Structure 1
Amino acid sequence: MSGRFGIDTDILLRVAVIDDPVQSDSVMNFIDKLGENDTLVVGVVVIMETSWVLERFYGYSKSAVLDFVQAILERREIEVPDYEVVGNAIDICRNSGADFSDAVISEMNRMASCKMTYTFDQKAARKIPGMELLT
């Protein structure tokens, strides 16, 4: 096995939550077979879905979710194409208590040279630099 491999949310969830031993074993065996030059590509949508499911379905604390996402960024075999966006969003959340998905949206827009991200979400506008209420 050699190359770059994308993974879906359900695969990443099996790394965080061992609620299906057969699937979790399959994921761990897959990861163990990765060679030195193999890469798992984890897109920002997968990270956002995973964080949402961990917090809302599995009851993980925001801090635990952010720790998990940070650990993903630090893995040698994982590439996150929007690494800087995700890393910045983690920092915003840790410093402000903002929602992770709102922070990612704001950071993606900032990285796309947007002057501002407009929202009706008062909490997001109050907590996230670069977000402003649309009035």
Structure 2
Amino acid sequence: MKRNWQIRFPNNKNEIPNAVIDYIAKQLNIDSKIFDGYDLNKRSYFYHKSQIREYFGFREATAADGDKVKDFLIENILYLEMNYERLKVEALNKFKLLHIEPPTIDRLERIIKSAIHTYEIKFFKETYSKSPTSSVDKMDT
């Protein structure tokens, strides 16, 4: 399974391959075992995340950002593609383009499912409104 490590912060230390930890430790000329004591639930971790965001010019996602990405999917992608994995890639790319840290996996899933639902409702309403009355009557019968 291919993983895209550069698009989000880890939820736990097990998500970070030992090869990455070893590589960074070597660059910093420190022992990789130091990372064993690094706690992802402490304030220092959240401070480090904010420093990384600032360095790369990103910011945390807001609910409005989620709505923007949802609207983007509805207006630009869903009429071409409804594959969930493809929608996920497009949503993550949009967050990256906007310099916004992607939301959690669960939040991203809700954004995508909401976009699909909204698109489908809009599609069926438009289809219904454009259908001749005679066709609608036949469907009702």
Q: What TM-score results when the alignment is normalised by the length of structure 1?
A: 0.29
- Higher gyration radius (CA): 2
Higher strand share: 1
Question: Greater helix share, 1 or 2?
Answer: 2
State TM-score, norm by structure 2.
0.28
Larger RCO of the pair (alpha carbons < 8 Å, separation 6+) = 2
